[in-house]
A and B are shown apart, each in its own frame.
Chain A
Amino acid sequence: MNYQGLEDLELLAKIGEQDRQALAALYDRYGRRVFALAVRMLNDPLGSEEVTQDVFMSVWRRGASYTSKKGKFTTWLFSITHNRTIDELRKRRRDRSRENADIDDHLNIQSGDISPADAAVARYEYAKIRAAMERLPVEQKSVVELSYFKGLTQTEIATKTGQPLGTVKTRMRLALKKLRTALSAEMGAQS
């Protein structure tokens, strides 16, 4: 069976039947993105491996319960990834055992062994999101970066930036709405 040709939902159905090849195919399809998001947030390859492992084991155990009625599979997958990474970030922050990079360090993340084709797509997508982010007011861009990629809470962001809490909340909402408006038309169809 050509697992690479199966849709996400078909692979999930087979995962529900404990088909490890389906899991392998799903990993091949999204493993690099999951790992990249973890690396982007943690700036730690080893910790990112643990996060990626946890995410795909979660898919292995819970994938059968997912249906398309719950939204895009990638939204579900990246939500799991994001939340698992935030857990790790906040744990490390409590332990104060590791320091994260500055807010703009993600711009220097290397793509590693990514294939030329993927790298080209990534550069294209990243260029678009980078452009969309650049079009945001710097205060809105900052709250998105601090919350989504750094794992800071609203109150922590307000304290860090000296902004009122209500303003932080409003800027988060506006930033997301603008990003969606700017990018969804081009990237929404992609997984």
Chain B
Amino acid sequence: MTETKDSMESNDNLDPRFENLAGYVLGALDHADERSAVENLIENDPEVQAEFEELSEAANLLATSVPPVEPPASLKTRIMDMAGQGTPSRLVEIVNMYQKQGGRSGPPWWRRAFQSGLAVSAAAAVLVVVVGSALSYQNNQLGNEIDTLRANLATESVVVANLQTELSTTLSDSENRVATMKSEIKVMEDDFGAITEMVVHQEEMVSQLGIVNNALRQALSDQNWLTYVSTKEGYQVESWLASNAQQVTSTEPTASGLIAVRIVGNEAVFQVHGLPQPQSGYAYTLWLMGNGDPQPIAQFAVSEIGSATIAFLLPQPLQFYSSVVVTQERVDGIGVDPTGTMVLFAQTN
């Protein structure tokens, strides 16, 4: 006979202690706190425990009422292989290890059974344990890896030390080579400096020799001319003005000069060589000295090589004068006495 309505379906008369018990057995509770409350009642209330066992038996009947189905043969093989491996699930192994190490009895079988699928809070607790144990397991693994890394590091350190030694030796050799090369370069630089100095000095000497050579060539030419003139025209060289002549002084080392006097009469020729160009506003002045007041004879300019030739009449015979002087005097007027720089001085014979 099939009932269509049960007179006791109303929830009004249901003991609150049993309210969620069927839902617990059927796995139909919504929240973890509901499951915890039911589990506490089962543990502490004999009436609830009795009701729980009754309802659990009914749920077991539901399971056994399902017609058996033959699973694939490979499933048994797989299960037996996993059992043979001993560690089918690291997670469960860690949980079991924790339970054994905890040294306290676990919850009742029914709680453990329902924990696996229903009690979220219990599952969370297990997860904490699992995570903790897993971390411990990880720590062990990390410790092993660290030991391995340390060993590798020690080996690598030896290699690095050898490389450092080789590198140090190589660097030392290189530094020595660089120092040697620097020393050689310094010697070469010194040699080059000395050579350069010599070249410059030689160039200066050549230049000076050229000037002297030109002056001597001109002097020789003039002397030849003067010798010819004196022979032909009756002149004789009475006085030489030269920087290297005795009793002759000059501020110009390359300057030289002479005075040729005609044997008969008072005609004279003055020649000078190797004088620099006078300073601006000045000109060279020839003086006869030592016979009363200084006698300015003439102002003259010099050529590019410092030469000049002056013909003049002697006021008195040359032997009446003690010296012949050349000074630089202003071009705009000659004083009664020489005041400018004296460049040539010679005593007369």
Chain A residues near B (Cβ < 8 Å): 18, 20, 23-24, 27-28, 31-33, 35-37, 39-40, 45, 48-49, 52-53, 56-58, 60-62, 65-66, 70-72, 74-76, 78-84, 86-87, 106, 109-114, 118-119, 122-123, 125-126, 128-130, 134-140, 144, 147-149, 151-157, 164, 166-167, 169-177, 179-180, 183-184, 187-188, 190-191
Distance A86 CA – B113 CA, assembled complex (angstroms): 12
- A28 to B114 Cα, complex, angstroms: 25
Q: Is the CB of A128 within 8 A of B28?
A: no
26 CB < 8 A contacts A-B: A31-B75, A35-B70, A36-B67, A37-B66, A49-B75, A53-B78, A57-B88, A61-B88, A61-B93, A66-B109, A70-B108, A87-B117, A118-B68, A125-B65, A126-B66, A128-B65, A129-B61, A129-B62, A129-B65, A130-B65, A169-B14, A169-B22, A170-B10, A173-B22, A175-B22, A180-B58
Q: B26 touching A176 by the CB < 8 A rule?
A: yes
Given A57-B89, A112-B69, A176-B59: A190 in contact with B82 (beta carbons within 8 A):
no
Cβ-based interface call for B264 (8 A): no
Known: A49-B75, A78-B60. A170 touches B14 (CB 8 A): yes
| Cβ A57 vs Cβ B76 within 8 A | no
**In the complex, chain B residues 2-33 whose Cβ is within 8 Å of any chain A Cβ:** 2-6, 8-11, 14, 18-23, 25-30
Residues from chain B with Cβ under 8 Å of A57 in the complex: 79, 82-83, 88-89, 92
Q: Which residue of A lies closest to B78 (CB)?
A: A53
Q: How far is the CA of A70 from the CA of B69 in the complex (A)?
A: 27
Q: Which residues of B contact A111 (CB under 8 A)?
A: 67-70
Total residues of chain B contacting the partner, CB 8 A? 67
Least Cβ distance of A106 to chain B in Å?
Answer: 7
Minimum CB–CB distance from B220 to chain A (whole Å) comes to 127
Which B residue sits closest to A145, measured CB to CB?
A: B62
**Docked-complex contact A170 and B8, CB < 8 angstroms:** yes
Closest-CB distance, B243 to chain A (whole angstroms): 123
Q: Which residues of A contact B109 (CB under 8 A)?
A: 65-66, 70-71, 76
- Chain A residue nearest to B13 in the complex (CB): A170
Alpha-carbon distance A130/B75, docked complex (angstroms): 29
**Closest 3 CB pairs between A and B?**
A83-B117, A129-B65, A166-B11
In the complex, how many angstroms separate the beta carbon of A16 from the nearest chain B beta carbon? 12
Known: A113-B70, A135-B2. A148 touches B11 (CB 8 A): no
Give the residues in chain A near B333, CB-CB below 8 Å. Answer: none
> B301 at the A/B interface (Cβ < 8 Å)?
no
**CB atoms of A154 and B23 under 8 A apart:** yes
Q: Verify A137–B57 contact, CB threshold 8 A.
A: no
CA distance A172 to B166 in the complex (A): 86
Which of B65, B68, B78, B116 is within 8 Å of A84, CB to CB?
B116
Chain B min CB distance to A62 (Å): 8
Cβ of B12 to closest chain A Cβ, rounded Å: 8
Contacting residue for B57 out of A61, A75, A122, CB 8 A? A75
